[in-house]
Amino acid sequence: MEALPIARLQFATTTSFHFLFVLLTLGLVTMVAVMQTRYAVTGRDVHRRMTRFWGRLYVVNYALGIATGIVMEFQFGLNWSGLSTYAGDIFGAPLAIETLVAFFLESTFLGLWIFGWDRMGRGLHLALIWLVALTAYASAFWIMAANSFLQNPVGAVEENGVLRLTDFSALLTNPTFVSALPHVLSAALLTGGVFLVGVSAYHFLRRSEEVEFFTRSMRLGVVVTLISAPVVFGFGAAQFPAIGELQPDKLEGGGVGLPLGLMVMIGQFFVFASLIALPFLARNRIARARPLLRLMVWGIPLPFVAAICGWLVREIGRQPWLVYGKLTTADAMSDLGAGQVLASFIAFTALFAALAVADWVLMSRLARRGPEPEVPQHAPAAPVLSGV
């Protein structure tokens, strides 16, 4: 038993888990911000209830996703000290900014938003959810900048066996960054849209009395899915020229063929599925299209499957390099024995599995329960997490 394959498997497992939380968080917070904006503009109670219901699901997913992110940070120091030694001056900067944005700014704004219902002015409370969304996107921005540097180490020179940054702007114009970032962000919107559609379809199948509530949620989800699916597809295809130039061997390996094909099929499915669902939104015919509603519920996991496939293509395809062309994965690993790595792998995997199960159990329970009953708007509202 060797330490390196176990460490690689551990990184793949923990990153995959964390990535799934991030996708849904980014997608849902955008939807919640749109819903609250409509409430701020119209003052209609249905938009207020939508904001609270979908916002509660978002907060649960965010809280458990943050826990997985903290473990990811520990993992870099534990298993990959060679990466910190060789490229820490460059790779560490985007990660530090991301940590500052995600763990401090985003969490602070979200906490104020959770406990600010009916305690702040409507405009200030709306600004908070948009600040939460913007800091979430900023976090994704810096993570992708760091990952893109590993894919194509630009703006740096090697001095005394260590990479030194010479051009910060090169990190932000990196060809592996400029097309991958919108691909990931649009995939997050697609995930959020499919989640709204699936949960709304579930309530229609149960013949929910909240017809207006879930019709509006369904419309938003279908429209976002219809817009984001071609964007995901387009920016995915836009990465091939850069891949062909910078990592010409990536697509020749058999390891990326299956996940790449599956990802493309899922993307095409959502383009056509959205076009089919769109006419059914008129006159609320969607609530009576039960075969289509079942398809929408079954479609909830598909964006997550596509995301894992995309991650496999991006990461497996650059092996054996950790910093492409400069530092191999084997050289980046800490001086640890196989038993030590195996112990941390088992512990981290068990923790992540527990967090994932807790996340989906809580979210499933909240989603099945549905929105809060209508209450007069002058009545004091509980924090958005009440009842979890």
Pairing of strands 321-323, 162-165: unpaired
* Contacts of the segment 75-78: beta carbons below 8 A, 24+ positions apart: 75/10, 75/11, 75/14, 75/344, 75/348, 78/334, 78/336, 78/344
> pLDDT tens across 277-332, in order?
888 888 778 888 899 999 999 999 999 999 999 999 998 888 899 999 999 999 99
Residue 379 confidence (pLDDT): 59
Name residue 247's amino acid: Q
Instruction: Report yes or no on 378 lying in a domain.
Output: no
Instruction: Report yes or no on 190 lying in a domain.
Output: yes
Instruction: Report yes or no on 115 lying in a domain.
Output: yes
For residue 162, the cross-strand partners are 159
Instruction: Report yes or no on 299 lying in a domain.
Output: yes
Instruction: Report yes or no on 386 lying in a domain.
Output: no
pLDDT of 377 above 80: no
pLDDT of 386 above 80: no
CB neighbour class for 4 (10 Å; exposed up to 12, middle 13-18, buried from 19): middle
Residue 144's closest CA among 103, 83, 95, 109?
Answer: 95
Cα–chain center distance at 14 = 14
Domain with 233, as residue range(s), is 3-366
Residue 96 confidence (pLDDT): 80
Axis crossing angle, helix 338-369 with helix 3-42, rounded to the nearest 10:
20
For 121-125, 201-205, 286-290, 303-307, which range has the lowest pLDDT when averaged over its residues?
286-290
pLDDT of 388 above 70: no
> pLDDT tens across 170-192, in order?
999 999 999 899 999 999 999 99
DSSP state of 253: S
Residue 232 confidence (pLDDT): 93
> pLDDT tens across 338-350, in order?
999 999 899 988 9
> pLDDT tens across 241-269, in order?
988 899 888 877 687 889 999 999 998 88
Instruction: Report yes or no on 380 lying in a domain.
Output: no
* Cβ count near 76 (within 10 Å): 17
Instruction: Report yes or no on 164 lying in a domain.
Output: yes
Mean pLDDT of 13-33: 91
Alpha helix locations (H) across the chain?
A: 3-42, 45-79, 81-100, 107-115, 122-151, 168-172, 175-178, 180-205, 211-238, 240-246, 257-277, 290-298, 302-316, 329-332, 338-369
Residues 203, 382: Cα–Cα separation, whole Å: 24
State the average pLDDT for the chain.
89
| Residue-wise burial string across 172-181, b where 16 or more C-beta atoms lie within 10 A, e elsewhere | bebbbbbbbb
Cis amide leading into 248 (omega within 30): no
Residue 243's closest CA among 252, 254, 232, 230?
Answer: 252
pTM for this one? Answer: 0.91
Answer with the residue of higher pLDDT: 141 or 77.
141
Instruction: Report yes or no on 295 lying in a domain.
Output: yes
How many independent structural domains does the chain possess? 1
